[in-house]
Chain A
């Protein structure tokens, strides 16, 4: 189910004095089963882009094709889109509302019009998948810790079994352990079930480790697009966009400056280790 955006543009307050172009003429193609990382400094338009892909806001001009169908066409049934594409917002725990976690997770699949049995099965599966403890299934979501709430909220989206999963900074405010668990879960969804992932993160290290392809946004435009190794080779450019390369890449660049002839395209600790050992031998 490839996603294609065609000259997608979005303007906040188009009619008022304080116009703000949050997305400017973006055309990209997103292939099936890819893990896409989206990076860009604060206010570069990432959230706006994701909301357009999910059909939650209408573009100023241009459009989005999902499966070859224009999702903003008049006769397009948004229900199809909701079943295919799931979106986890920044701080998704703020959307919990039911009396129990289990009921809350059921909300999405129920809206898809599935029968009661299927709904409960999916909810159970999704909660298991996110590593949610069984004891907490029937507790009120408001009694849980932040991390547990986050899991419950993500399960609520997974239970809809989307083919495309969009996550807007899903790890913000989590401890390193919780963060890794969520990212590992997302990666396994991508690998084992072939779900397309689009994930926003401010951590270059995570992006280097998990993404297959990175889109870099700056000032409402996509300015860099490629594999992590390609993207992180543009050190100066990224600096100019208020971003950075992973810490290890930075370390390799500095080793090189000190006269040690290492290649500087390592982006993960593992790659850096190999490269340093190669030079030392």
Chain B
């Protein structure tokens, strides 16, 4: 089985970012992503990049590990960039058939590349520094107000954490079944698509059956220990904001304000430029 670093799998180490309340990280990541979409000019991206670099340094996850996780997305990024370079209309620098490179194309491609990189890294920092359990805890707490309108927040969070817990177990199970069927002479590397799909049946059927069996066992075990949903349930480690969490919110505020300021100034300058253009004409 492939146990290489996958995108954003929890990386165990001790850092300020790891210790932050999951709610801070969730809200922070969301705000950060929104900010990237609202302020899409090079100056704002520079500020966003600086902010992210500080977080990367603070979270003490090796950069190589983080970049390894990005590898699967590389193709998607490359595709987006190429598409933007060749198909954005504007002032042409080079042309061949329907392909052309324009000044605007290059500009958008660069901006999109920066934005995608920042987005993906920021999202993966959240999952790299937070265990799935704490993440669901954070989500449950953040969405707790929805309980008032009868949304089963606790149950949804529980389902999510169980699902996450089951991923490695099912991977191991898949590995075992694959080996057992290989030993019985099953081939999984046929060139023909139909044979290949058919050859998966001996793996998928036992896998589903084992997943159902495990699910029903778990449900029984939970009931036997008097689990009855979220009502009146308390936490072993309740989430509480510490000083560092408050401080993080303050930093987030400063970041948003400075970004807004730069954004406004930038917009004004381009407005002035545009007016000057028109006037000079």
Contact across chains for A79 and B185 when beta carbons are under 8 A apart? yes
The interface bits of chain B over 219-231 (1 if a CB of A lies within 8 angstroms of the residue's CB, else 0) are 0000000000000
The interface on chain B, measured as residues whose beta carbon lies within 8 A of the other chain's beta carbons, has a size of 20
Q: Does A87 contact B (CB under 8 A)?
A: yes
Q: Which residues of A contact B253 (CB under 8 A)?
A: none
Task: With CB as the reference atom, state the residue of chain B lying closest to A142.
Answer: B209
Q: In the complex, A42→B173 CA distance in Å?
A: 19
Which of A51, A97, A157 is in CB contact (< 8 Å) with B202? A97
Q: Does A92 contact B (CB under 8 A)?
A: yes
- Residues 129-160 of A at the B interface (beta carbon under 8 Å): 142, 156-157, 160
Q: Does B89 contact A (CB under 8 A)?
A: no
**A89-B176, A94-B206 given; A54·B183 CB < 8 A:** yes
Q: In the complex, A96→B180 CA distance in Å?
A: 10
Contact across chains for B179 and A97 when beta carbons are under 8 A apart? no
Q: Does B182 contact A (CB under 8 A)?
A: yes
Q: How far is the CB of A51 from chain B (nearest CB, A)?
A: 7
For chains A and B in complex, what number of residue pairs have CB atoms within 8 angstroms?
Answer: 56
**A97-B202, A107-B202 given; A86·B183 CB < 8 A:** yes
Task: With CB as the reference atom, state the residue of chain B lying closest to A110.
Answer: B185
Q: Does B177 contact A (CB under 8 A)?
A: yes
Q: How far is the CB of B194 from chain A (nearest CB, A)?
A: 17
Chain B residues within CB distance 8 Å of chain A: 3-4, 173, 176-177, 179-187, 201-202, 205-206, 209-210
The interface bits of chain A over 75-89 (1 if a CB of B lies within 8 angstroms of the residue's CB, else 0) are 000010011001101
Contact across chains for A97 and B180 when beta carbons are under 8 A apart? no
Q: How far is the CB of A150 from chain B (nearest CB, A)?
A: 13
Contact across chains for A156 and B206 when beta carbons are under 8 A apart? no
Contact across chains for A108 and B206 when beta carbons are under 8 A apart? no
Q: In the complex, A111→B181 CA distance in Å?
A: 10
Contact across chains for B209 and A56 when beta carbons are under 8 A apart? no
Which of B4, B184, B205 is in CB contact (< 8 Å) with A160? B184
Task: With CB as the reference atom, state the residue of chain B lying closest to A86.
Answer: B183
A-B contact pairs, 21 of them (CB 8 A): A15-B4, A56-B183, A82-B184, A87-B180, A89-B176, A92-B180, A94-B180, A94-B209, A95-B177, A95-B180, A95-B181, A95-B184, A97-B205, A107-B186, A108-B184, A111-B186, A111-B187, A112-B185, A142-B209, A157-B183, A160-B185
